[in-house]
Amino acid sequence: MQQMMSSRHRTLSQLLTAWRMMDNSLHSALSPQPPAPGPHLRTLCSTTSEADTIQIHKRKLFLWFSHLPQEEKQFGGYFSPETMHVDPLIVERKAEERAGRLSPPMQTQSLSSPSVSVEQLFEPTEAWTEGRGINVLLYGAVGTGKSTVVRKLVLDWCSGATLNHYKLLVPFSCEDLSQLSKVSSLRDLVSRKYLHLKKHPLLSGEGNLAKDVLFLFNGMEKMNLDFRIGSTELCSDPSEALPPDVVVVNLLRKYLLPEASILVTTRLSAMDRIPQKYVNRYAQICGFNDPDRQRAYFTSRLLQQSGKAARDHEAQALIELLYLNLQRESQLAAACFLPSYCWLTCATLHFLHFTDAKAPIRTLTGIYTSFLRLNFGGEVLGTGTSVPIQGHNNSLMLYVIRTVGKMAFDGITYKRTSFSEKELEQWIGGKTKTDEELRQLAMFQTDVLDFFLAPCVESGKHLPKSLSENDERRYVFAVPAMQEYLAALYVVLGENKSALEKLSKRVSVAIGQAGEDVNTLFTILSKFIPLRIFAVFNLIKLFPKLYEKISSHNKGSIARTMAAEMFRTEDSYNEDVLDQVEQNLLGVHGPQPQQLSESHPFELYPIFMGGLLHYGNRVLLQILGCSIQSTTVVQITHALRKHLVRELNKPQPPEEVMDLLVLLYEFQNPRLTAEVLASMRTIHLTNIRMTSLKCFILSSVLSCTPASYHLEELDLSSCLLTQDLLKTLWPAFRHTHNLNLQFNSLGPESCLILRDLLLDSLSSMRSLQLCDNPLLDRGVCILLEALPENQTLKHLSLMHTGMGDHGALQLADRLQQHVGLQELNVAYNNIGDNAALALVDACREHPSIHTVHLYLNALSDVGKKSLYVRGVPRNHVGSGRRVKVLASVTEGSEISEDWHPILRVIRENARSWDRQRVQQQLEVFLRDLEWGRQQQQSLWKRLHFLRVEKGVRQTLRMLDREVPPSSPGYSK
C-alpha cells in the first residue's frame, strides 16, 4: 500500500511539473510576435490548445476534488484523499438481480458476482455496440461510500492512474442541476461550471469525437428524470437549449452524443428511474464487507498523527484493539459495514485519545452532528415528484427524528436497546398515510432505515428476559450512542410535546401572523376553540401568555429530565461515560461483565441534550432542517442551572462528577459552567482513569470560572496521571488550594511542572500530596527549588516517593526558607537515622511546622528515641510548642499518642506497598510494644499496650488474607 501511495505521489508530482511546463508554453504561444501561421502550423497550434485545455481542466478538477470538508480537519490536517482512501466492495449485478441487497459481513453468503473496480465497468463486453458509449449505473444505500468513490475516481483520472482512454471527464452534481430554473444547452451546462471547456471540440457532436468523453452524474435521485417521449422531447444538438433534466435524459438515451460514456450514481430506491434498456451495466457499492478493509481504513486515519512516536504507538495499539473487536463479529463490525460508521469510529477515537489543547474545540455532540451533516446535509425526502410531504418540511433529517428518533426516545424511556420487526413497523410506518406519504416511507425504508438500525448480532446481550424465548429477529442502533443522540435530538426539538402544547403553539403562531387586527384574531381563534369560551375567559388576551407559560414549563421539564438522567442512583457506580464510549468501540477484553438490558445506563442521553444547545451544533442542525430556537436554549439553560446546583448539594461518586464535567464541556456555555461550579468546592475524581481528553475537559471547565474562584480540594489520586497529563491539567491546578496526586505514575521530571506551579504567582496551593509516586531524590530536590519563593504551601506529603538520605538532607536545608509549612510527611521512604535527625532538628527550629511523619523508614531503635527527645525546639522550651514526630507506635516505654493514625495509614495503603517490608515494620512495632508493656507497672497501661498490639496483629492478618482496605485513601 505504501508503495502504491508513493507511486501516486510521484505521478502527481510529475503531473504538476507538466502543468507548469504547459503554462510556460502557453505564455510563449501568446507572445506579441508570433511566427506567420502556415497550414501545418495552424493545425499544430489547434492541437496544442486542445491539449492545454485538457490539462487546465485536470488541474482545476484536482484542486476542486482535493478539497476536504470541514469535518476532516479534526484529524489534524495530515490527510489527503489519496492517503486515506480505501476501496469499498463494488459488485456487478445482472439486470434481474439489481435490486438485491448485501447483508452485513456476518450474514454475507457467497457472492453471485465478483468484486470489480470502476475502471473495469467501462471495459467493452460482448453486448457492447461499436460507436456507442457505455452507461454504468452505480448504486448503493446511504453511507456506503458513493461520493467517496466518485471523488477518488476523479482524482485518479486527473493524475493519470485510471480511465486513461477517456480524454475528458465531466463531473456534474445532480443536486446543482436540479436547482437550475432556466433552459440551457449541454455546452452551456458544461461551460457554466467549466468555463475553459466552453468551445472544446470533444463536446461539439461532430464525428465520433465524443467517444473520448466520460460524463459523471452524482446523486441522480435529486433529479426528476422522465423518459417518456411525450414528456421529454428528443434532442441531438449539444447547442440546443433545454431544461437540464431533458438534456440528461437525452444523454442517457444515446440520442445526444451517443459515443460518450456515462457514469450515474444513485440510491437504491431511485435506480429504476432509468429504464433498463438505457443501462449497460449495473454495479452495487456495498461498503466494507470484511474486517481487513475496515482495518485498512482505520490505519489510514489513525496512524497518521503529528509524527510523534508515542502517538503512533498508541494509534497502533488502538488499531489492534479495533481489529480484535471486529474479528469477534461484534455489533461494531456490523456498523462498520458502512464506511460512514468507520469514519464515526475514527473520529470518536481521535477525540478520545488525541485531543490537543492547541487544536480547535471538539465535542462528542459535535462529532455526531457533523456525522449526520456529512451524510444528510441538504437531503430532502422526495419520491421523484416536486410535491413536499406536508408536516415534515421535506427535510430527510427531520423525518428521521420524528420516526427513528421517537423510537430511540421510547427505548430510553423503558430502558431498551433492541426492537422487533413489528415495533419497527409501528414506529416507522405509523398510522395510515396518503399515497404520497407511503411512497416516501418506502424510499426511507429502502435507503435510510438500514443506516441507523442493524440486525442484532449479540442477542444475548441486548434481549430482555421477557423476550429471550422469542426467536423474532431483533434490531439495534448501529452504534449504541446513536440511540441516545437521536433521542436527545427528539426531546430538544420539542417533538415530544403534548396535544395541549401543540395546540397552544399553533394558536400562538397564528396570533403572531395576524398582527393586531382583533377581528382577524377572533376569526383565527374560532377555528380552534368554541365561541362560548371567549365570553368567559377572554382568551384573545390570555392565550399568548398561556402559551408562553406552557412553553416555559415544557423547557423546564427538559432541564429536569437532563438533571435527573445525569444523577440516576442506579447508574451511580458505572464507569464514566467516556470510558463507556471507548468500550463500545474497542470491546471489553478479559472476563466479559454481565450486562442486562433492564439496567442499561443511558448516561450519554442528557449529555447530548446539553451539547445540542451549543450554537455551533444548532447551526449544523439548521442545515439539516432541524431548528432549535435561541429562546428554547435560554429557557432550558435557566432551568438546568437550578436543577444541577440542587443535585450537586448531595455527595456524588467520582464517576458522576466526571460525567457532570463532560456535560458542562459539551454545553460550551462559560456562564452556565461558572454558575454551576460556584456551588462546588471540591472535585473528587479518585480512581477515574484520566486520559488526555478528560484532563483537557477538567481544565477547560475550570477555565470558565473567574480568577478568584478556587476549589478547596481537587482529588486526582489513583488516576494514572503522567507528566504530559500534568501539563494539560495546569489551568485546573491554578484554581486549587488542596491538590491530591497520590498513587499515580509521576516520575522525577513531573516535579519540574509542579515546581513551576508552586512558583506561579496566580497559584494558591496550600496542600500538595504526592504519596506513592516514584519521585526519587532527584525529583524531590527539583520540587524543593520552589520553597524559597512559595509562601502559600502548608502541607507537603512525600510519603513513599523513594526519597533517601540525600533528599531528606536537602529538605532540611530548605525548610528555613519557607516559613508557612505546617505539616511534612516523609513516611515510608529510605531515610536513615542521621538524615531523620537532621530533618527533625530543622523542623523544631521552624516557626510553624507542628507534625513530621517518619514511620516506615530505615530507623534504628536508638534513632527513634532520639527523634522524640529532639521534638522540643531549643529556643522555645518554655513556649509549650512541640513538633509532633510520628516514627512508631511507641515512644520509648510509652504508647505514642499518634499510634492510631499510623496504623490507619498502613492499613489503607498496605496493598499497594511492598508487602514484605510492611510486615517487617509491623513486627518491629510488636517487639517495641511487648518490651514497653513489660516495663509498665500499671494494669491500665498494660491493657492499653495490649489494645495497640491487637490492632497491629489485625493489620498483619489483613495482609495475610489480602483483605482490601476499608477506607478509600489516605488523607494526609
- Give the span between the Cα atoms of 811 and 808, in whole angstroms: 5
What amino acid occupies position 245?
D
Which of 61-65, 431-435, 734-738 has the highest average model confidence (pLDDT)? 734-738
pLDDT, position 962: 60
Q: Which helix (H) or strand (E) holds 382?
A: none
CB 897 within 8 A of CB 910: no
Do 240 and 335 reside in the same domain of the chain?
A: no
Average the pLDDT over each of 14-23, 244-253, 709-718 and give the range with the smallest value: 14-23
CB 55 within 8 A of CB 246: no
Confidence of residue 803 (pLDDT cuts 50, 70, 90): very high
pLDDT, position 56: 92
CB 751 within 8 A of CB 782: yes
Q: What is the CA radius of gyration of the chain?
A: 37
Residue 329 confidence (pLDDT) above 90: no
Q: Which helix (H) or strand (E) holds 443?
A: helix 435-447
Residue 831 confidence (pLDDT) above 90: yes
Backbone angles phi, psi at 132, to 5 degrees: -125, 135
CB atoms within 10 A of CB 546: 16
Do 61 and 205 reside in the same domain of the chain?
A: yes
- Give the span between the Cα atoms of 403 and 383, in whole angstroms: 18
State how far the alpha carbon of 719 is from the alpha carbons of 352, 681, 685, 694, 818, in Å. Answer: 16, 20, 8, 11, 30
113-141 mean pLDDT: 84
Do 720 and 853 reside in the same domain of the chain?
A: yes
- Give the span between the Cα atoms of 438 and 443, in whole angstroms: 9
pLDDT, position 175: 87
Residue 968 confidence (pLDDT) above 50: no
Q: What is the DSSP letter of 837?
A: H
Residue 42 confidence (pLDDT) above 60: no
CB atoms within 10 A of CB 432: 7
- Give the span between the Cα atoms of 464 and 443, in whole angstroms: 31
Give the list of residues 6+ apart from residue 72 with CB closer than 8 angstroms, or none: 79
Do 275 and 297 reside in the same domain of the chain?
A: no
Residue 20 confidence (pLDDT) above 90: no
Is residue 13 domain-resident? no
pLDDT, position 630: 84
The 3-state secondary structure of 597-634 reads HHHCCCCHHHHHHHHHCCHHHHHHHHHCCCCCCHHHHH
Residue 359 confidence (pLDDT) above 60: yes
The CA-CA-CA angle for residues 84, 85, 87, to 5°, reads 155
Confidence of residue 798 (pLDDT cuts 50, 70, 90): very high
Average the pLDDT over each of 33-37, 251-255, 545-549, 900-904 and give the range with the smallest value: 33-37
pLDDT tens digits, 76-119: 555 555 566 788 889 888 877 765 554 444 444 445 567 888 89
Confidence of residue 323 (pLDDT cuts 50, 70, 90): confident
Residue 801, domain CATH: 3.80.10.10
More confident call, 861 vs 336: 336
DSSP E strands, 228-332: 261-266, 281-285
Domain that holds residue 190: 51-98+114-286
Do 297 and 346 reside in the same domain of the chain?
A: yes
Is residue 839 domain-resident? yes
pLDDT tens digits, 386-416: 333 434 447 889 999 989 999 999 998 888 8
CB atoms within 10 A of CB 368: 26
The DSSP string of 506-535 is HHHHHHHHHTT-HHHHHHHHHTTS-HHHHH
Is residue 836 domain-resident? yes
Is residue 810 domain-resident? yes
pLDDT, position 207: 84
Phi-psi label, residue 457: left if phi above 0, alpha if psi -120 to 50, beta otherwise: alpha
The grid coordinates of residue 741 equal 496526586
More confident call, 920 vs 263: 263
Q: Give the rounded percent of residues in the chain with a pLDDT score beyond 70.
A: 76
265-277 mean pLDDT: 89
- Give the span between the Cα atoms of 533 and 542, in whole angstroms: 12
What is this structure's pTM?
0.81
Start-to-end CA distance of the chain, whole Å, equals 57
Mean pLDDT value across the chain: 79
Is residue 65 domain-resident? yes
State how far the alpha carbon of 348 is from the alpha carbons of 260, 265, 693, in Å. Answer: 43, 29, 11
Is residue 728 domain-resident? yes
811-829 mean pLDDT: 90
pLDDT, position 530: 56
Is residue 479 domain-resident? no
Do 745 and 702 reside in the same domain of the chain?
A: yes
Do 269 and 335 reside in the same domain of the chain?
A: no
Give the list of residues 6+ apart from residue 562 with CB closer than 8 angstroms, or none: 606, 609, 610, 636, 640, 643, 663
Confidence of residue 871 (pLDDT cuts 50, 70, 90): low
pLDDT, position 862: 83
State how far the alpha carbon of 642 is from the alpha carbons of 85, 649, 701, in Å. Answer: 48, 11, 18
HSE, side-chain direction, 13 A CA sphere, residue 821? 28
pLDDT, position 57: 93
pLDDT, position 380: 72
pLDDT tens digits, 683-696: 999 999 999 999 99
Q: What is the DSSP letter of 269?
A: G
Give the list of residues 6+ apart from residue 835 with CB closer than 8 angstroms, or none: 804, 805, 808, 809, 812
Residue ending a domain, among 325, 341, 360, is 360
Do 847 and 916 reside in the same domain of the chain?
A: no
474-477 and 453-455 strand pairing: antiparallel
Residue 551 confidence (pLDDT) above 90: no
Q: Of the candidates 717, 810, 733, which has an alpha carbon nearest to the alpha carbon of residue 771?
A: 717
Do 928 and 884 reside in the same domain of the chain?
A: no
Residue 514 confidence (pLDDT) above 70: no
Residue ending a domain, among 840, 870, 891, is 891
CB 868 within 8 A of CB 842: no
Residue 517 confidence (pLDDT) above 70: no
More confident call, 449 vs 467: 449
Q: Of the candidates 798, 805, 848, 806, which has an alpha carbon nearest to the alpha carbon of residue 824?
A: 798
890-891 and 894-895 strand pairing: antiparallel
pLDDT, position 27: 39
Q: Of the candidates 928, 903, 930, which has an alpha carbon nearest to the alpha carbon of residue 918?
A: 903
281-285 and 135-139 strand pairing: parallel
More confident call, 472 vs 121: 121
pLDDT, position 856: 83
State how far the alpha carbon of 850 is from the alpha carbons of 839, 844, 845, 863, in Å. Answer: 13, 8, 11, 20
Is residue 33 domain-resident? no
Residue ending a domain, among 891, 921, 944, is 891
More confident call, 30 vs 321: 321
Residue 446 confidence (pLDDT) above 80: yes
- When divided into structural domains, the chain yields a total of 4
State how far the alpha carbon of 491 is from the alpha carbons of 304, 407, 448, 554, 603, in Å. Answer: 38, 12, 21, 10, 15
pLDDT tens digits, 606-643: 899 899 999 999 999 998 888 888 888 888 888 888 88
CB 923 within 8 A of CB 885: no
Residue 214, domain CATH: 3.40.50.300
pLDDT, position 571: 57
Residue 127 confidence (pLDDT) above 70: no
State how far the alpha carbon of 785 is from the alpha carbons of 596, 748, 821, 847, 926, in Å. Answer: 54, 13, 15, 20, 39
pLDDT, position 528: 57
Do 63 and 89 reside in the same domain of the chain?
A: yes
- Give the span between the Cα atoms of 719 and 117, in whole angstroms: 50
pLDDT, position 511: 42
The DSSP string of 716-730 is -TTS---HHHHHHHH
Do 789 and 685 reside in the same domain of the chain?
A: yes
Q: Of the candidates 931, 960, 933, which has an alpha carbon nearest to the alpha carbon of residue 945?
A: 933
Average the pLDDT over each of 78-82, 242-246, 850-854 and give the range with the smallest value: 78-82
Give the list of residues 6+ apart from residue 175 with CB closer than 8 angstroms, or none: 219, 222, 378
- Give the span between the Cα atoms of 256 and 246, in whole angstroms: 10
456-483 mean pLDDT: 68
- Give the span between the Cα atoms of 424 and 403, in whole angstroms: 9
Tell me the sheet residues that pair with 215: 170, 262
Do 800 and 884 reside in the same domain of the chain?
A: yes
